[in-house]
Amino acid sequence: MTLGRIALARIPATRGTIHRLFSTTLSSSSTNRTSPPLSRHMSMKSDNLVSKLTSSGLLKTQGLIDGKWVDAHDGDTIKVLNPATGEVVANVPCMGQSETNDAISSAYDAFRSWSKLTASERSQRLRKWYDLLISHKEELGQLITLEQGKPLKEAMGEVIYGASFIEFYAEEAKRVYGDIIPSTLGDRRLFVLKQPVGVVGAITPWNFPLAMITRKVGPALACGCTVIVKPSELTPLTALAAAELALQAGIPPGVLNVVMGKASDIGDALLASPEVRKITFTGSTAVGKKLMAGAAGTVKRLSLELGGNAPCIVFDDADLDVAVKGSLAAKFRNSGQTCVCANRIIVQEGIYDKFADAFSKAVQSMQVGDGFSEGVMQGPLINEAAVQKVESFVEDAIFKGAKVLLGGKRHSLGMTFYEPTVISDVTEAMLLSREEVFGPVAPLLRFKTEEEAILMANNTKAGLAAYIFTNNVQRSWRVTEALEYGLVGVNEGLISTEVAPFGGLKQSGLGREGSKYGMDEYLEMKYVCLGDMNRK
């Protein structure tokens, strides 16, 4: 996904809180045909919500460097928009290289003392942070819905999920063990120490404004690393609120810094600095490749969680209800805007028509609307570029012979709402099966044999998540082992959890996040050979 076009508004020294501006600068390159105005004055309802969030102290609109809330050096700001309404929620600083260098210095200085704390001292602060995230889950959920658009219930689910990484790594902090290696010589003792990598640059996307940050910052801080977070410019408010709670939890100044603004300038500063020892990134494969190339200059460690193209294979022997529910959850979570969303629903010919019918009925019942409205299951897409991408993929499929069973166009609500869509007779030649659509479109492909399904599933450069639905135990193992994917859900569409490793094969990335394995990404191994002091 590469949808990160942002509103770069030159508003001199507009430090502080909220701005209600009329603007059409969401995307200078958005030349869409039918779109409504892209940003507006705030309605009374949003105004009330924003005032409540402001008085809670969680609507932060400055960057965080060395424990201080700061503006961009030149006072430039970026507008943060509510994708459901186009309203400007806030202006945040548009930072670049020099602010990032300040953040690096602060993280570098803080590393000395933070890494020297005992694991238990770090653990207690992380635990406190977790408690604060949970006790503020409503405000954080509201911020997520406000800037990202997902339904409030789903946003609150993200807060619980996001916070769970902080809780888990507060516990794991105490379990960083080294090793003793049996020596080859009698007068020596051999040890392995595990030590924090150092300063970490964490670059995160807009689709999970909290969880993609905590999944990186939790293990980093637990190990004794310090971090500069660069959230997406589309969703910085949740990151800033989480950082405020980290300060309240007693995480010292400089341990967690947040900068946002000119993405490539910030990225370049992080890459160029020899003091930054690791980059951890979640986002598009294209940007991930740039970061990988850029990290070579200083030989930094890298974790990359990039795009997917998840197959969801439904076999004839699947339980139809389980397959429909599981595929629905895997496809339509966050309006299809996650890298583990089912991108291709590959259905065996014997069950194809029944599945298409039952699945379409289930999709039809999903209510679309503003994430703050009761009962809504599908919010807007993140921005106009996202809608245009979905439109172009659907047009391509129709042109190449696919049939729209449901939806297939912008929603009558306008803005960036798109109808939940089911398309049948999709083939491997279509964009819908070759690339991530990152929207609420479920393409149905047909297969005959298990071998064919595996070939189709693996016929992509991506390798993040895959799903299979079958009641045959032998088949579930056989197919799971043959799938070139980092995560496999068997008869289950929602599989992410803080206790299991998350990460991809092939061009979906490097490294794992979550679980005990997620700690290794932030630890160096040091081999120590201790000679015999008494030797003459």
Residues that bind ligand ADP (CB under 6 A): 1-4, 203-206, 230, 232-233, 263-264, 267, 283-284, 287, 290
Nearest residue (CB) to ligand ADP, 81 versus 203: 203
242 vs 356 by CB, closer to ligand ADP: 242
Catalytic residue set: 305
Nearest partner of 167 among 209, 202, 134, 121, judged by Cα: 134
Q: In which region does residue 250 sit, left (phi positive, over 0), alpha (psi from -120 to 50) or beta (all else)?
A: left
Beta-ladder partners of 345: 312, 444
Residue with the two structure tokens 């260098």? 101
CA angle (432, 436, 438) in 5-degree steps: 105
Q: For residue 180, what are its two tokens?
A: 């003793």
**CB-nearer residue toward ligand ADP: 45 or 289:** 289
b/e 29-43 (16+ beta carbons within 10 angstroms → b): ebeeeebeebbbebe
Q: Provide CB contacts within 8 A for 151, sequence distance 6+.
A: 145, 371, 376, 377, 378, 379
* DSSP code at position 41: P
**Nearer to ligand ADP among residue 83 and residue 326 (C-beta):** 83
To ligand ADP, the closest distance from the beta carbon of 382 in angstroms equals 8
Q: Measured from the CB of residue 356, what is the shortest distance to ligand ADP in angstroms?
A: 30
Name residue 282's beta-bridge partners: 305
Closest CB 291 distance from ligand ADP, rounded Å: 6
C-beta closer to ligand ADP: residue 85 or 284: 284
CB proximity list for 477: less than 8 A, separation 6 or greater: none
Q: Which residue's CB comes closest to ligand ADP?
A: 267
Give the nearest distance from C-beta 244 to ligand ADP in angstroms.
Answer: 19
Distance CA(426)–CA(433), nearest Å, equals: 8
Do 241 and 59 form a contact (C-beta atoms < 8 A)?
Answer: yes
Q: Give the nearer residue to ligand ADP in terms of CB position, either 166 or 202.
A: 202
**Interatomic CA distance for residues 463 and 49, integer angstroms:** 40
Smallest distance, Å, CB 56 to ligand ADP? Answer: 25
**CB-based burial, 247-280: b 16+ in 10 Å, e otherwise:** bebebbebbbbbbbbbbebbbbbbbbbebbbbbb
Pick 389 or 411: Cβ nearer ligand ADP: 389
Whether residue 453 contacts residue 447, with contact meaning beta carbons closer than 8 Å, is answered with yes
From the CB of 5, what's the least distance to ligand ADP, in Å? 8
Q: What is the DSSP string of 430-492?
A: SHHHHS---SSEEEEEEESSHHHHHHHHH-SS--SEEEEE-S-HHHHHHHHHH---SEEEES-
| Cβ atoms of residues 444 and 466 within 8 Å | no
Q: Give whichever of 71 and 233 is closer to ligand ADP, judged by the CB atom.
A: 233
Report in angstroms how near the CB of residue 204 gets to ligand ADP at its nearest: 6
Beta carbons of 450 and 477 less than 8 angstroms apart? no
How far apart, in whole angstroms, are the C-alpha atoms of residue 113 and residue 108?
A: 10
Query: Min. distance of Cβ 261 from ligand ADP in angstroms?
Result: 9
Torsion sign, CA atoms 36, 50, 76, 269:
negative
